[in-house]
Chain A
Amino acid sequence: MQEFIQQLINGLSLGAIYALIALGYTMVYGIIKLINFAHGDIMMVGAYVGFFSLSVLDSNILVAMIYAMLACSILGVLIEKIAYKPLRYSTRIAALITAIGVSLFLEYFTLFLLGPAQRVFPDTAFPVNNYNIIGVSVSNKDIFVIVSAVILMLILQYIIRMTKTGKAMRAVSEDKDAAVLMGISVDKTVSITFAIGSSLAAAAGVMIGVYYNTVNPLMGIVPGIKAFVAAVLGGIGLVPGAMVGGFLMGILETMVSGYGNSLYRDAVAYGVLILILIIKPTGLFGKNTGDKV
C-alpha cells in the first residue's frame, strides 16, 4: 500500500508536467486545428530562460518562472505570426510540416548557440526538503510542481470561462466565420491563444528544470510527444481533457514501470492510447460528432 501511494505521488508529479504541456497543445489545436509540434521546444526555451534568470540574474524561482512565461509568450506569438499565419488558409498538413520545421529550428538554433551539453540548475534555486510520511517520501519539489500546475490550470479555466478573451477564444474555436461576424478579431484571439499556451509550456519548462535540475536543447522532444499523446488521450481541443490526459499519462507510465516491465513503458503508454482511440475515437472527454454532408 505504501508503495502504491508512493507510485501514485510519483505519477502525479510527472503527470502535472505532462498536463501543463498538453494544455498548450490542446488550446492551439482547439483554435486553429494545428498540431503545434514546436510546442515541446517552446517548453525547452522556457526552461533555458528560467535557467539563465536563476543562474545569471540570481532571481528567485517565481520570478524566473514569470520571465520564462513572458519570453515564451512573445516567442509563441512571433512563431505564429511568422510561420503559421501565412498558412492559416492552406492545408493543415502544410502547417504541420511548418511546425516540424519550427521545432527543428528551435532545437538546433539553441544547440548552435549554447552547445549540446546540458546545463545544471543552481542548487540554491530550490532547496529541497524531503518529508517522510508513514514511509512515503514526498519532497517539496513534488508539492511545488503539483500545486503550481493546479494553480495555473485554475487560472486558465478562469480566463477561458469568465473573461471576454476566453469567450472570444471559445467562439473562434467553435466557429471561426461566425466569430468574425460577431466582431471578434480572429488574429488577435489566435495570438492570445499562442501567448497563453506558450507561457504554460514555459512554466512547465522551468518546472522540469527545477524538478530534474538540468536543461538541454533536445529536452523538449520526448515530453513534447508524450504530452501530445496525453492531449489526444483526453480529447484534443478540450482543456479539461488535456489536464486529465496529462495526469493519466503520468500515472500510467509510473505504474507500468513500477509494477510491470519498465522496458515496455513507452509501448504500453502508446498501446493504451490506441486502445482508447479505437473504443472512443475522440478521446476520453471528446464528443462524438458525425460527419456532416
Chain B
Amino acid sequence: MQGSGKIGGRLIAEVAAVAALFMLGQFLISTGMLEQYYQIILTSMCINIILAVSLSLINGFTGQLSLGHAGFMAVGAYASVVMTNRLDLPFIIGILAACLGAALAGFIIGVPTLRLKGDYLAIATLGFGEIIRVVLQNIDYVGGPSGIMGIEKYTTWAWLFASTILTLVVIVNLINSSYGRAIISVREDEVAAELMGINTTRYKVIAFVVGAMFAGLAGALYAHYFYIIKPESFTFMKSFDILVMVVLGGLGSTTGAVIAAIFVTALTAFLQSFPAIRMILYALILIIVMIYRPQGLMGNKEIGRKTLARLWGGKR
C-alpha cells in the first residue's frame, strides 16, 4: 500500500502538470498572445503527433510497413464531416463516427492484407489508401474531387489537447500492456512469436485497427479546423509525410514520433520563407538526417522519467 500511495502522488502531480499545460495553452490562445499563425502551426503539430504516434504503433512497434495511413485519415475526415456538415449532428458524434469508420476500414483492410509480409504489405496498403481516395473522388454526396467546403470550425484547443493526450495515453498503455509485448514480439521475430503460441495475425490486426482509429481521429480534427477537405489532400504523398515523421523519430519510439512530428511541422513552417527552394531543402534535410542518423532521432529509445532521473542524478 505504501507503494501505491507514492504512485497516487505522482499521478496527481502529473495530472496537475497536464492540466496546467492545457490552461497555459488556453490562456495564450484566448488572450491572443499566441498569434493566429502560431495557433495554426500548433494545431498542425497536434494533428501530426496523433498521426505519427498512431502510425508508429503499426510501423514502429508491430513492424508492419503501412503506406496507407492517409487513407484512414481521409475516412475519418469524411465520416465526421458527413455527420456534422451534412447531417448537422454535434461534433462529438462526428468524432465518434470518424474513429469508428476508420477503425472499421482498418479492420476490413487489415484482415486480408496483414497476412502479407514486408514490402508486399506496403504496396497493398498503398493500394488501399489510393482506392479510398479514388472512391471518395467519385461519390457526389461528399463533393467528388472538389470535396466539402465550409466545414464548421469545431476543433478547439480543448479538443486538440484532449485528443493528443488521449492518443498518447491509449497507445503508450497498449504498448506497455501484455498486448504490447505480444505486438513487439511480432516485430522482433514473427516465427518465434507464433511458436510461443501468440496469434500473430490477431495482434497485427489489433495494432492496425487502433492505429487506423487514431488516424481517423486526426482526420476529424483536421477537417474541422482547415475548413475544407478534398480527396487530393489524402494521396500517398500524405502517407509518406507521416511515415517520414515516424522513421525520423525512430522506429519503435513514441517520444521519437512526437519529437519528429513537432520537428517536421516546425521545419515545414520555417521553410515557408524560401518559397522557391523549400521542397529542395526539405528533401536534402531528409536525406542528410537519414544518412547520419538512420535509426532516427531517438532510435527505439524513449525519453521517460528514468532518463530524466539519470540526468538529474548525474548533475547531483
Contact = CB atoms under 8 A, between A and B. Distances in A.
B25 interface: no
A86 B287 CA distance: 11
B117 interface: yes
B280 A108 contact: yes
A173 B36 CA distance: 54
B138 interface: yes
Which of B134, B284, B287 has the most chain A CB within a 10 Å cutoff?
B287
Interface stretch (A68-76, A127-135, A191-199, A224-232): A224-232
A61 interface: no
A47 interface: no
Contact of B127 (A104, A109, A229, A292): A229
B125 to A, nearest CB: 9
B172 interface: no
A108 B290 contact: no
B247 interface: yes
A231 B221 CA distance: 37
A105 B280 contact: yes
A55 interface: no
A94 B295 contact: yes
B128 A270 contact: yes
A291 B191 contact: yes
Given A273-B123, A274-B128, A91 B134 contact: no
A6 B287 CA distance: 45
Nearest to B194: A291
Query: Interface of chain A, helix or strand or loop or mixed?
Result: helix
Contacts of B269: none
B309 interface: no
B contact residues, range:
35 or more
Contact of B287 (A93, A105, A108, A228): A105
A98 B123 contact: no
A132 B259 CA distance: 63
A90 B127 contact: no
Given A225-B236, A274-B113, A101 B294 contact: no
B81 to A, nearest CB: 21
A264 B138 contact: yes
Interface stretch (A16-24, A137-145, A154-162, A276-284): A276-284
Given A104-B279, A266-B134, A270-B130, A293 B286 contact: no
Contacts of B73: none
B294 A90 contact: yes
Interface in B274-293: 276-277, 279-280, 282-284, 286-287, 290-291
B127 A112 contact: no
B247 A104 contact: no
B183 to A, nearest CB: 17
Nearest to B237: A221
A9 interface: no
B283 A277 contact: no
A236 B119 contact: yes
Contacts of A122: none
Nearest to A97: B247
Given A282-B120, A291-B190, A267 B290 contact: no
A232 B286 contact: no
Nearest to B132: A267
A96 B122 CA distance: 11
Contacts of A35: 119, 122
B287 A112 contact: no
Given A93-B251, A112-B276, A281-B115, A229 B123 contact: yes
A125 interface: no
B131 A101 contact: no
Interface of B: 59, 65, 112-113, 115-117, 119-120, 122-124, 126-128, 130-131, 134-135, 137-138, 190-192, 195, 236, 240, 243-244, 247-248, 251, 276-277, 279-280, 282-284, 286-287, 290-291, 294-296
Given A97-B290, A104-B279, 6 more contacts: A112-B277, A225-B126, A229-B127, A273-B123, A278-B113, A283-B120
23 contacts: A91-B294, A93-B59, A94-B290, A94-B296, A96-B247, A100-B244, A101-B286, A107-B279, A108-B280, A229-B127, A232-B123, A236-B120, A264-B138, A267-B135, A273-B123, A277-B120, A278-B113, A278-B124, A281-B116, A281-B117, A282-B120, A283-B120, A291-B191
